[in-house]
Amino acid sequence: MLVLQELTEVIGRLVDSDTSTLADAESIVTLHRQLARLDAVVTTATAAFDSSGDWAADGAQSCAAWLATRTRLPKRAVRRRIRIGRQLRHLPVVERSWLAGDLAEPQVAAVAELRNDATEEALQRDEEFIVEQGKTLRFQDFSRVLAYWTQRADPGGAEDRAEAQRQDRDAYLDESFGGMWFGKQMFDPISGAIVAGEVERLYDELFKADWEEARERLGRDPSVNDLRRTPGQRRADTFVEMAIRSASMLPTSRRPRPLFTVMVGYETLHGPICELAQGTVLSPGSLVPWLTAAVIERAVFSPPNRVDVSERTRLFTGGTRRSVQVRDRRCSHPYCDRRAEICEVDHILPYFAGGATTQENGRLLCGFHNRLRNQRPPPEAA
Ligand SMILES: [Zn+2]
């Protein structure tokens, strides 16, 4: 094929060139885009090869077996490509956008995974909308849109998957060589959020204590290397501290209640929305066992991005702060995704310049970007 010869030559020229001349921002984006397009071509061609059955001539039992031998790629990788290639036949908008370089393999794979008997029809109807989201949203946000879409298109399937995740929870802690202990944990989204939230809170306490200790010891602001514990050591001590606090808790102590955020009326989707504070989408059914132990927070989005927090008895003064956290969810810097819990609510128009302390003038910034903001204005996202 002439075109393959040309491609090989062009790639040869790229390989022979000094790649540091491609190391500017624009070239990096272009390279990724072209890589995505080539990936799309490889996948559609592979799917055509798969259905042609030509691989059988070598005695291979499947296209995947043939490909794994000829390319020396893991079976997992070749199966993934073939599976996506087969799904593309039913996803013409996705295919077109991938070939154009507007989507890349991870987005395409995520959409292809949505398709089953229960969702087929809805996917055909909504494919254009979904692709539009994939072209504009960061991957994390796109995944969330897909999770909500699945809940609406296949509510039963979403509940089944949530139940399977809950069944898969597992943990062990075993004594091993030399009396050391090894552990592993796997949690469903809600249990994981409860544990991770408390670990994070305690870790933060220990970090502040280490920081104070180092400042006392050195007589100046310490750097991270001056602290007496490494992050791993501090995390281990966090679990020890959790155990000590648990053992010292009185049976009559009130159990703290985990906090779930339920958002309604998010304008992109016009439907019920149910997710944890850090953004994990929950199936409504998975909330049910926790209803008596949880604080359900209801927020209403209405254009443009306005959030009204209701029924929030615990934090009367913090309502505005919370509404910004719920709306932004992450550091609002375009090149950052630190979670709301470790961000500060910052005035867009600074307070000293007359900026109001309102939802509209608030945004989340992590510590790093808060400091950076005071040095220079944030760049616009491309
Ligand atoms: Zn940030």
Q: How far is the CA of 365 from the centre of ligand 1 (A)?
A: 5
Q: How far is the CA of 346 from the centre of ligand 1 (A)?
A: 12
Q: How far is the CA of 372 from the centre of ligand 1 (A)?
A: 9
Considering the domain boundaries, does residue 381 fall inside one? no
Count of domains in the chain?
Answer: 3
pLDDT at 315 over 70: no
pLDDT at 382 over 60: no
In this structure, the strands spanning 343-347 and 362-366 are antiparallel
Instruction: State whether 264 and 347 are in the same domain.
Output: yes
User: Residue 354: its pLDDT value, please?
Assistant: 75
pLDDT in tens, 204-239: 899 999 999 999 999 998 988 999 999 999 999 999
Range of the domain at 331: 259-373
Q: How far is the CA of 371 from the centre of ligand 1 (A)?
A: 10
Q: In the chain, where do the E strands start and end?
A: 170-175, 181-186, 259-264, 275-276, 295-302, 306-310, 343-347, 362-366
User: Residue 267: its pLDDT value, please?
Assistant: 43
Instruction: State whether 152 and 50 are in the same domain.
Output: yes
pLDDT in tens, 191-202: 888 888 889 889
Instruction: State whether 23 and 144 are in the same domain.
Output: yes
Q: How far is the CA of 170 from the centre of ligand 1 (A)?
A: 33
Instruction: State whether 30 and 161 are in the same domain.
Output: yes
For residue 281, the SS3 value is strand
Instruction: State whether 13 and 134 are in the same domain.
Output: yes
Final residue in a domain of this structure, among 208, 223, 248:
248
Which of the given ranges, 38-52, 176-190, 330-344, has the highest pLDDT on average?
A: 38-52
Instruction: State whether 17 and 107 are in the same domain.
Output: yes
pLDDT in tens, 291-310: 766 666 555 544 455 555 44
> Which distant-in-sequence residues (6+ apart) come within 8 Å of 332 by Cβ?
363, 364, 365
pLDDT in tens, 48-82: 999 999 999 999 999 999 999 999 999 999 999 99
Q: Which residues sit with Cβ closer than 5 angstroms to ligand 1, an ion?
A: 331, 333, 336, 338, 366, 369
User: Residue 312: its pLDDT value, please?
Assistant: 36
Instruction: State whether 160 and 53 are in the same domain.
Output: yes
Considering the domain boundaries, does residue 35 fall inside one? yes
Take residue 173 and report the two structure tokens written for it: 């802690």
Angle formed by the axes of helices 92-99 and 120-136, nearest 10°:
20
pLDDT at 156 over 70: yes
Final residue in a domain of this structure, among 131, 166, 201:
166
Considering the domain boundaries, does residue 380 fall inside one? no
Nearest partner of 329 among 366, 360, 283, judged by Cα: 366
Q: Kindly indicate the confidence band of residue 265, based on its pLDDT and cuts at 50, 70 and 90.
A: very low
Question: In terms of pLDDT, which residue wins out, 338 or 9?
Answer: 9
The mean pLDDT of the chain is 85
User: Residue 40: its pLDDT value, please?
Assistant: 98
Do the beta carbons of residue 289 and residue 273 sit within 8 Å? no
User: Residue 47: its pLDDT value, please?
Assistant: 97
pLDDT at 97 over 60: yes
Considering the domain boundaries, does residue 174 fall inside one? no
Considering the domain boundaries, does residue 181 fall inside one? no
Nearest partner of 42 among 97, 105, 91, 94, judged by Cα: 105
How is residue 280 annotated by DSSP?
Answer: -
Instruction: State whether 148 and 193 are in the same domain.
Output: no
The mean pLDDT of 183-192, rounded to a whole number, is 92
pLDDT in tens, 102-146: 999 999 999 999 999 999 999 999 999 999 999 999 998 899 889
| Euclidean distance between CA atoms 79 and 62, whole angstroms | 10
Considering the domain boundaries, does residue 177 fall inside one? no
User: Residue 1: its pLDDT value, please?
Assistant: 79
Take residue 100 and report the two structure tokens written for it: 């154009």
pLDDT at 151 over 80: yes
pLDDT in tens, 30-42: 999 999 999 999 9
Nearest partner of 152 among 288, 273, 262, 265, judged by Cα: 273
Instruction: State whether 273 and 155 are in the same domain.
Output: no
Instruction: State whether 283 and 216 are in the same domain.
Output: no
| Euclidean distance between CA atoms 166 and 366, whole angstroms | 32
Instruction: State whether 206 and 341 are in the same domain.
Output: no
For residue 294, the SS3 value is coil
| pTM reported for the whole predicted model | 0.74
Final residue in a domain of this structure, among 248, 276, 294:
248
Q: Kindly indicate the confidence band of residue 313, based on its pLDDT and cuts at 50, 70 and 90.
A: very low
Considering the domain boundaries, does residue 179 fall inside one? no
Q: How far is the CA of 130 from the centre of ligand 1 (A)?
A: 27
| Euclidean distance between CA atoms 362 and 328, whole angstroms | 10
Considering the domain boundaries, does residue 173 fall inside one? no
Instruction: State whether 119 and 58 are in the same domain.
Output: yes
Q: Kindly indicate the confidence band of residue 346, based on its pLDDT and cuts at 50, 70 and 90.
A: confident
How many CB atoms are located within 10 Å of the residue 118 CB?
Answer: 15
Q: How far is the CA of 358 from the centre of ligand 1 (A)?
A: 21
Q: How far is the CA of 139 from the centre of ligand 1 (A)?
A: 17
The mean pLDDT of 335-350, rounded to a whole number, is 84
